Amino acid sequence: MRWLQIARKDFDDSRRERQLYYLLGLLGLVGLGIGYVVGDNSSSSMAASEVLPLFLLNVFGFIAPIVALTISQSDIVGKRATGELSVLLSLPFSRHTIVLGSFLGRIAVLTAVLVPAFVLASVLSTAMGAPLDVALLATTFLLIWTVGVVFTAIALGLSTLTRSTSIAAGGSFGIFLLFVFQLWSVIPTGIRYLLGGLSMPSGPKPEWAAAFIQLSPFTGIRNLAHPIAPELLRNFPLALGSVGESVPWYQEPVFAGFVVLAWIVLPLAIGYWRFQTTDL
């Protein structure tokens, strides 16, 4: 249970550095804002129970990855830079305990700042007369939380991989550009441009390009959850393409499940592999 001690310390660090409180305040305000807007329009045509979940999904689909990247990219590399890692590793903690514990600690921070925001939004909008669909709201939370967990894994993997705090910071900005700014969707076009002898690709998109685009974390999560809440996910933010009537193999929920799992496991595994072979 040593990873639990690391996880608790990691969470407490966030509290002691006030980071947790700033995020609670900031995300709480966003939650209240959403709740107010939804509640304020509850008597108009927007008076449907999926308005609040849709609103939360779109706003937090954007905020959750940014929060996850911000709080996680500096976690391990920062401890390495300050020498804190040497202290932890002079105690009977193994390096994988540090990585796993930090991952769980960061997820705890993420959860602790997301839950109040969702609660505030729901309570305020309901108090102002908007309808509440608890099941749909819970599904929305789970989706946003999964987005956060994936980006926590990516950022923490990066933080474990490198010894330079600036590479970790720059890299997480790159991750932001790639997935939130959706540069990912341009990559197949870029490859086709290069393969086609530096001329703009024309004609229908080949299957590999379509499949590649479906490998982004947001798209993977959308494809995974689509059968559960199709009406909610029709407009899942930051997911590429759309899910049609008959889904191709790369949009199958099982395949998407592996994609999402890979985005969590691979960054951590690569980061850990590098971490355990290098000097502190």
Partner 1 sequence: MAAIETNGLHKRYGGDILALDGIDLHVEEGEVFGFLGPNGAGKSTTINILLDFVRPTEGSATVLGMDAQADSQSIRQRTGVLPEGYQVYDRLTGRQHVQFVIDSKDVTADPDALLERVGIPEAGDRTAGGYSKGMKQRLTLAMALVGQPDLLILDEPSTGLDPAGAREIREIVTEEADRGATVFFSSHILEQVEAVCDRVGILRAGELVAVDSIEGLREAAGDGATLRVELATVTDNAIEIVEGVPGVTDVTQRDGGLTVSVGDGSKTAVLSALEDAGHEVTDFRTEETSLEEIFMSYTEGSR
Residue numbers at the binding site for partner 1 (CB under 8 A): 2, 5, 9, 16-17, 82-84, 86-87, 89-94, 277, 279-280
Q: Name the H helices within the chain.
A: 2-16, 19-40, 51-73, 75-82, 84-90, 95-127, 134-161, 165-175, 187-195, 207-213, 217-225, 230-233, 253-275
Answer whether 55's CB lies under 8 Å from 31's CB: no
Name the DSSP letter for residue 179: I
| Residue 40 Cβ vs partner 1, minimum distance, rounded to whole Å | 41
| Residue 2 Cβ vs partner 1, minimum distance, rounded to whole Å | 7
Name the DSSP letter for residue 250: G
| Residue 5 Cβ vs partner 1, minimum distance, rounded to whole Å | 6
- Measured CA to CA, the distance from residue 263 to residue 267 in angstroms comes to 7
Sign of CA dihedral 186, 191, 193, 194: positive
Nearer to partner 1, 29 or 87 (CB): 87
Nearer to partner 1, 166 or 277 (CB): 277
| Residue 115 Cβ vs partner 1, minimum distance, rounded to whole Å | 24
Residue 197 neighbours by CB under 8 Å, 6+ apart: none
- Measured CA to CA, the distance from residue 162 to residue 159 in angstroms comes to 6
Amino acid at 164: S
| Residue 224 Cβ vs partner 1, minimum distance, rounded to whole Å | 37
- Measured CA to CA, the distance from residue 59 to residue 69 in angstroms comes to 16
- Measured CA to CA, the distance from residue 176 to residue 182 in angstroms comes to 8
Nearer to partner 1, 18 or 45 (CB): 18
| Residue 22 Cβ vs partner 1, minimum distance, rounded to whole Å | 16
| Residue 112: φ, ψ to 5° | -65, -25
Nearer to partner 1, 2 or 205 (CB): 2
Cα dist from 76 to 94, 110, 168, 239, 258, whole Å: 14, 16, 10, 29, 26
SS3 state of residue 176: helix
Nearer to partner 1, 86 or 235 (CB): 86
Nearer to partner 1, 1 or 198 (CB): 1
Nearer to partner 1, 96 or 234 (CB): 96
| Residue 163 Cβ vs partner 1, minimum distance, rounded to whole Å | 12
Nearer to partner 1, 17 or 231 (CB): 17
Helices 134-161 and 75-82, packing angle to 10 deg:
40
| Residue 167 Cβ vs partner 1, minimum distance, rounded to whole Å | 17
